[in-house]
Structure 1
Amino acid sequence: MPTIDFNPPADVADTVARALAEDIGDGDRNALLADAAAPAHAVVVARENAILSGRPWFDAVFAALDADVRIHWRYADGERMRSETPVCELHGPARAVLSGERTALNFLQLLSGVASTTHDYVERVKGTNTGIVDTRKTLPGLRSAQRYAVRCGGGVNHRFGLFDAILIKENHIMAAGGIESAVAGARAQSPDLFLQVEVETLEELDAALEAGVDAVLLDNFATHVLARAVHMADAHRRRFRRQIVIEASGDITLTNVREIADTGVDRISIGGLTKHIRATDFSMRMQVDAPATGDPAAGGAQT
């Protein structure tokens, strides 16, 4: 298994800017209820056991609103949070904390939900050599963020999009006139890209292997047929002394994922990691301190 990469993607600031523009528009009328000079202290609490993910986006929200907001984290991304425990504390101008609260928590609840679901699947296949892999079934505009969350949960990223690897599916095969012609066309156009073919029968698997693919995606195979498919692919690997990634997908659940992993597949791709999302429950509670004044009797700073 590869080392987990916790480096955030390059588009964090852009993603946060779009989210803030969506929520704040031309100004936060609600935050004006707080004194402009009032400092605030806030605590974010996890309401359930979960895997944390989303700190870079949370931090970027408040950095974009006011550089004076300071955040102290109790957990790192990828760590398991305990229910009803503080996750982080914020100190800074009340208006900035109020304006950023919902957007920051939205990122945290979404990405922690993805990481937690991924972690559950990873735990189920522990002890096998099978990786849990995401898909392109992501929320529009949030793919890089969700892929980061999958890594936080111990999962592995598939191709990012349609440009960095080729996955020939049934519609491509139909359009090209067959597996052999589809593979040949892909190799001719993009000889250096990783090439995978989705197959639905053992006959299609044999055709894909003979065409010289880098990986096969075994879609909706019954477990006993999946085991035969793995045996076929292994035999092909030994025969030609070349690496072929064997991936399973289709109707994967926590109930059957271990049985599928035990067939010997290299990885299992699950669209539900980023598509069927149950957000993690967080809450933020804030206290506003009285703003500093020039009146010594009021406890403020003298000027």
Structure 2
Amino acid sequence: MATIGAPEISVVTTLYHSAPYIREFYARSLAQVRQLGVSYEFVFVNDGSPDNALEVALELQRQDPNVVVVDLSRNFGHHKAIWRGLSVCRGERVFLIDCDLEEPPELLTEFAAKFSEVNCDVVYGVQARRKGGMRERLFGSIFYRLFNYLADIEVPANWTIARLMSRRYVDALNQYQEESLFLGGVMSAVGFVQVPITVVKLHKGTTTYTLRRKLSAVLTAVTSFSDKPLRLVFYSGLIISIASFGFAIWFAALKLIFGTPVSGFTALAVSIWFIGGLVILFLGVIGIYISKIFTQAKNRPLTIVREIYRA
């Protein structure tokens, strides 16, 4: 629920290696806000940026009393920093966007026009064609197909952070307190009427998401919204048990009825290695879910705020 005297629009973004873009992002976003003729606030969340992004944001905050800077105690990750920004902002509508200018701030007026035209709570961007090289596009395609197959909800392929949201949607989103936070899944799970708009996302040629971080994101996303891997473990174990029982009866029949000796040390060794590998794999899958339960049960805060700078 928006507070009394809340701005009509909150522009929320996160800072990580963002110092070169902040001033241009602010100027272009402010031009869009003024074009809409609404009251506003900017919420910059410093996610432990190693450059001077905090100093640049604080300089803007001293110049514009409508700028709020949230300084986190360390780097907590992109999605958690976004969640913190959404919990701090007060606007009746919230424009969420990365400040690296890959998503143009001019999307605000386009999203606002669609928001007014359609009775909805969210207008969000999707890429017609995923940015980056062949490997990145292939990885993204496989990820969304795998996630939407395994999960109980559907996440739009190639969704972008950029979106305009109603206050009630943001309030609902803030009720989620998940340690393993996959924002795309949570944003879809909240529900409400969400309308996509095709956007073009620029590619700067560099990314902070390494292969290791991408694989970690896949595990987080799938295990946060699906128990199908656990069910696959059960059914695989059931099939292997039935097959093993059938082979045992077959070999017994060969020996007792037909007198055929059963031999094959190589086949036995391969079977042992195969079954052993499956057992370790299945224990690993179960262990991931237990680890998530353990982490969530500790109920630690998603982020720690060092200080909030506001007028």
Q: TM-score range by the shorter chain?
A: under 0.3
Higher helix share goes to which structure?
A: 2
TM-score (norm 1): 0.24
